[in-house]
Chain A
């Protein structure tokens, strides 16, 4: 039995996240996000959230991301994903707040901070337009 699988499967994250990002027209960055430290449980929820994102089922995606956040509440990437879902729903104020929350948990993660910065910017612009 594979007892060594106790640690996060880091190689899954870039794949899952790439799927996620391509599904979201919002923040566009090409780089891989291997820096995210996401455990297996949260990763599997993220993957399921992604299928809902692809189908445009935002609330289902959000519910799964919240579930993932209960498991890894300090995971700044999960907060970012939730921010992205809210952005896609047109809930711009929440998107901004959640992106800020993500930033507050990732002071040293320049990649993620840049994504959050762009998301906030786009959300503000979109909010101003609507």
Chain B
């Protein structure tokens, strides 16, 4: 290592070449080799320089992007209660005052609110600060006028709640700190323990290496490292624990390069934000800012002496000294750090003694991510990374406007956690996505039973077989062909398909019964596998896959028959895309979590416009939706009405997979679509059908929201007919087996069945 300690002088090769020694060919060859070698080395060093600079520059951020929920619009006629508006004002941090004259204050007077709004710059213009009086009637918000001059206002947009700060170019959460925000005690302790000569050396410290060498020889094994902070930083950039000599050499060169290019404080700041300090499932904890949140749930500036000492102690080996798993080891090392701090005069001995008396002070469970909405933020981050260049995302202080609806998010979280707590099995997990039917905007994402936990995001990443959720695609394929109606009889008898090579496929009904001839709408409502598989085979698996693709499933699915029973593994988010197209009358809209991104100067980086594509003709989608309404009203989804009012028309489908591993429900009202998955992360049976698990969460979510019934306008050429749910024939509407169903004009059954009540 000492040989390459200092950068080479550059002139040398040139000056030698000027005086070639012609009489000595051996020497000349040697010289040529040396020159070539030297040039190669220079190129190599330049390459390393590029690498390390890219890393260093890429990790320097000052201002995070601010992420906002949707702004609340206020207008007469809106279905909004005075309590809901007050809740929003509290979320926004408006203060209750007797005289609310200042922007950001309000007063409640019985059923009305007097508010002075804050001004806010949106992507489509500025919303000025205004004094408002907002009146409510039993039906909702009735009037808004200016509190100062009585002018009537048609529409007011409040400022949007800030829901988080993120570094969109990073894959993970960060809490970046500036050097001046870091407690000096932490820096002093860090330098004492890890790199005493930091402000003296040039990236590599021969003294430290010597010291370490002596200590290691003395102990007969590696007890001390000689790496400087700069070397550790470089090591962290490339995330390799390889301990080869080349690796070390590369690190040393890059450390020298970093020191040459940047000053000490810049390097120290990068180190403080980059160093690896723990692991939270799949999430790596980098930097002291995040580590402080992770271990103590408080910002760095609020840490006590012993907590600072613990973080410094962790640098040596975050998993070996993990304070949650190995508290004894962690405490020993922390106390060692405290002693060193006292030795160097950072603490007096009394302070150190008191600090040693304290317990580790870590929170019991690593529940807290940086944001309260880790699953939704995850989606925002992914859509940003998908749609923007890294360069744009690195701009400081972006403002990101999302479609998150705090009230819907709250309802979805409460429903998932609440229902999971009531269902058996501590290992039971789940995820849900809630979408606005009309705009395709994502309103809420829940990634697991603990919605604050920034771990595995099941709403986006749990890819599970969808089971019967696939069936609407099969029935839509049939209805779109024109020769099937909702009353067409399907054969639910047993079937065996020869797959060739001696293999057969035998789909079975859930109840292990065959139901003979059943009307199409009934086969969907009861989720009969045999009738559905036979129908799907008649239509052709590729035709069904085409429908799935049109509905918005982008994943390539192999065209084997088992697809007809939902062997495709999809995430709740993907399912939401598919069902959104059904809820929106056959118009597909890419699900969006972001409305617009603005630069700090207020210029739009990009807006996400509303785009629709007609994915399926309106009439068959209308027929299918009616069948999905019937499936909740009378079929496998009917237990939804244990929590929903009978007057609320909703549509949806249950999904259950083999051995009850996955419990699904996807469904919609007129304005909200939600997809819920429940199951276990280890893919063991959860013991729940779609109806007994996910459906409960779904219904509970909708119950908590003031949703609109699903009542799409009938396309032209539709007639409604009362049909017998057993025979599919026309029947008297007073019959118990009568169901009212839509048909394309001229295709309704003509024959009448006799009432069997």
Complex Cα distance, B587 from A6, in Å, reads 32
Query: Contacts A5-B152, A100-B614 given: A41-B77 contact, CB under 8 Å?
Result: yes
A94 to chain B minimum Cβ distance, whole angstroms, is: 6
Instruction: Check: A119 CB closer than 8 A to any chain B CB.
Output: no
User: Which of A14-22, A26-34, A58-66 lies at the interface?
Assistant: A58-66
Q: Are B438 and A73 in contact (CB under 8 A)?
A: yes
Is B716 part of the binding interface, using a Cβ–Cβ cutoff of 8 Å? yes
Give A80-108 interface residues, CB cut-off 8 Å to B.
Answer: 82, 94, 97-98, 100-101, 104-108
Contact for A62 among B75, B135, B150, B609, CB less than 8 A:
B609
B715 near A107: Cβ-Cβ < 8 Å: yes
A5 to B150, CA, bound (A): 14
Which residue of B123, B137, B585, B609 has the most chain A CB atoms within 10 A of its CB atom?
B609
Minimum CB distance partner of B588 in chain A: A97
Contact B155 A69 (CB under 8 A): no
Residue in contact with B613 in the complex, picked from A64, A70, A97, CB distance below 8 Å: A97
Q: Are A105 and B713 in contact (CB under 8 A)?
A: yes
B402 to chain A, nearest CB (A): 14
Q: Please provide the chain B residues from 515 to 542 with a CB less than 8 Å away from any CB of chain A in the complex.
A: none
Any A CB within 8 A of the CB of B32? no
A116 within 8 A of B: no
Contacting residues, chain B, for A43 (C-beta < 8 A): 154
Q: With a CB–CB cut-off of 8 A, which chain B residues contact A56? A: none
Interface residues in B125-163 by Cβ distance below 8 A to A read: 135, 137, 142-143, 145, 150, 152, 154-155
Q: How far is the CA of A64 from the CA of B609 in the complex (A)?
A: 11
CB contact between A60 and one of B124, B154, B614, B713 (< 8 Å): that residue? B124
Enumerate chain B residues within 8 angstroms of A45, measured Cβ to Cβ. Answer: 155
Pick the contact of B76 from A1, A6, A67, A98 — CB < 8 Å?
A: A6
Q: Do B713 and A104 touch (CB < 8 A)?
A: yes
Are B124's CB and A67's CB within 8 A? yes
Q: Are B587 and A101 in contact (CB under 8 A)?
A: yes
Considering the chains assembled together, what is the distance between the CA atoms of A64 and B586 in angstroms?
A: 25
Whether A66 pairs with B155 at a CB distance below 8 angstroms is no
How would residues 437 to 459 of chain B score, 1 for a CB under 8 Å from any chain A CB and 0 otherwise?
11100000000000000000000
B421 within 8 A of A: no
Complex Cα–Cα for A104 and B619 (A): 9
Nearest-Cβ distance from residue B418 to partner chain A, whole angstroms: 29
Tally of A-B residue pairs with Cβ under 8 A? Answer: 94
Q: B713 touching A106 by the CB < 8 A rule?
A: yes
- Complex Cα distance A121/B435, Å? 32
B214 interface contact, C-beta 8 A = no
Contacting pair B143 A5 (CB below 8 A):
yes
Inter-subunit contact A6/B77 (CB<8 Å): yes
- The distance in angstroms between the C-alpha atoms of A43 and B73, with both chains bound, is 14
Instruction: Assess whether A94 is in contact with B611, with CB atoms less than 8 Å apart.
Output: yes
Q: Mark B63-89, 1 if CB is under 8 A from A, else 0.
A: 000000000010111100000000000
* Given known A-B contacts A41-B77, A41-B155, A63-B124, A101 and B612 have beta carbons under 8 A apart: yes
**B607 on the A face (CB < 8 A):** yes
Chain B residues with Cβ under 8 A from A40's Cβ? 75-77, 154-155
CB distance from B304 to the nearest CB of A (A): 48
Q: How far, in Å, is B165 (CB) from chain A's closest CB?
A: 25
Contact B439 A73 (CB under 8 A): yes
How far apart sit A78 and B701, CA to CA, in the bound complex (Å)?
30
**Is the CB of A126 closer than 8 A to any CB of chain B?**
no
Contact between chains at A97 and B155 (CB < 8 Å): no
Chain A residues contacting B73 (CB-CB under 8 Å) are: 41, 67, 70-71
**Contact at A41–B75, with CB atoms within 8 Å?**
yes
Bound CA span A107–B742, Å: 15
How close is A46's CB to chain B, nearest CB, in angstroms? 11
B671 within 8 A of A: yes
Residue on B with the closest CB to A60? B124
Let me know if A66 and B610 touch, CB within 8 A: yes
The answer to the question of B570 belonging to the interface, with a C-beta cut-off of 8 Å to chain A, is no
Quick one: given A6-B143, A39-B75, A104-B715, are A59 and B154 in contact (CB under 8 Å)?
no
Is A107's CB under 8 angstroms from B716's CB? Answer: yes
Closest to A63 in B: B124
CA of A2 to CA of B154, assembled, Å: 12
Q: Say yes or no: is B559 at the interface (Cβ < 8 Å to chain A).
A: no
- A123 CA to B485 CA, complexed, in Å: 33
B586-607 contacts to A (CB < 8 Å): 586-587, 607
Tell me if B618 counts as interface (CB < 8 A to partner A).
yes
State the Cβ distance, A114 to closest chain B Cβ, in Å: 13
Return the chain B residue nearest A97 by Cβ. B612
- In the complex, whether B714 has a CB less than 8 A from a CB of chain A is yes
Q: Mask for B21-47, Cβ within 8 A of A = 1, else 0?
A: 000000000000000000000000000
A8 to B528, CA, bound (A): 48
The smallest beta-carbon distance between B68 and chain A, in angstroms, is 15
Please give, as numbers and ranges, the residues of chain B lying within 8 Å of A104 by CB-CB distance.
Answer: 585-587, 618, 713, 715
Residues of chain A within 8 A of B77, CB atoms compared: 6, 39-41
Q: Are B439 and A63 in contact (CB under 8 A)?
A: no
Whether B154 pairs with A70 at a CB distance below 8 angstroms is no
Complex-state Cα separation, A101 to B613, whole angstroms: 9
Contact partner, B152, options A2, A66, A70, A73, Cβ 8 Å: A2
List of A residues within 8 angstroms of B713 by Cβ: 104-108
State A105–B439 Cα separation when bound (angstroms): 14
- Bound Cα distance A101, B671 (Å): 16
Docked pose: A40 CA to B142 CA in angstroms: 12
Is residue A44 contacting chain B, with contact meaning CB distance below 8 A?
A: yes
* Cα separation A62 to B154 with both chains bound (whole Å): 20
> Complex formed: what's the CA distance from A94 to B609 in Å?
11
With both beta carbons as reference points, the residue of chain B lying nearest to A66 in the complex is identified as: B610
From the candidates B75, B150, B154, B609, name the one contacting A66 in the complex (CB within 8 A): B609
User: Is A63's CB under 8 angstroms from B607's CB?
Assistant: yes
CB nearest to B140 among chain A residues:
A6
Chain A contacts for B612, CB-based, 8 A: 94, 97-98, 101
- Judge if A3 is at the interface, Cβ distance under 8 Å: yes
Q: Which residues of A contact B155 (CB under 8 A)?
A: 40-41, 44-45, 71
Cα distance A23–B587 in the bound complex, in angstroms: 28
| Contact among B123, B152, B438, B607 for A74, CB-based, below 8 A | B438
Contact B154 A1 (CB under 8 A): no
Tell whether, in the assembled complex, residue A73 and residue B671 are in contact, meaning their CB atoms are under 8 Å apart: yes
Residues from chain A with a CB closer than 8 A to the CB of B716 are 107
A41 touches B610 (CB 8 A): no
* Contact residue among A5, A62, A107 (Cβ-Cβ distance under 8 Å from B714): A107
Of chain A, the residue at the smallest CB distance from B139 is: A6
Query: B715 to chain A: which residues have CB within 8 Å?
Result: 104, 107
Distance A80 CA – B124 CA, assembled complex (angstroms):
21
Bound-complex Cα distance A60 to B125 (A): 9
In the assembled complex, which residues on chain A have CB atoms less than 8 Å from the CB atom of B611?
Answer: 94, 97
Q: Chain B contacts of A105 at CB under 8 A? A: 713
Alpha-carbon distance between A62 and B611 when the two chains are bound, in angstroms: 11
Residues in A neighbouring B150, C-beta threshold 8 A:
1
A45–B77 CA distance with the chains assembled, in angstroms: 15
- C-alpha spacing A106/B77, complex, angstroms: 22
Which chain B residues border A63 with CB–CB below 8 Å? 123-124, 607, 609
Taking A64-B124, A101-B585 as known contacts, 13 extra A-B pairs with beta carbons closer than 8 A to each other, sorted by chain A number, are A6-B143, A40-B76, A40-B155, A41-B76, A45-B155, A62-B609, A70-B439, A73-B439, A97-B613, A100-B587, A104-B618, A105-B713, A107-B716
What 4 A-B pairs have minimum CB-CB distances, sorted nearest first? A73-B438, A41-B75, A40-B154, A41-B155
- A selection of 23 A-B contacts at a CB cut-off of 8 Å is A2-B143, A3-B142, A6-B137, A6-B143, A39-B77, A41-B78, A41-B154, A63-B123, A63-B609, A66-B610, A67-B124, A69-B438, A82-B610, A94-B611, A94-B612, A97-B611, A98-B612, A101-B585, A101-B614, A104-B713, A106-B713, A107-B713, A107-B716
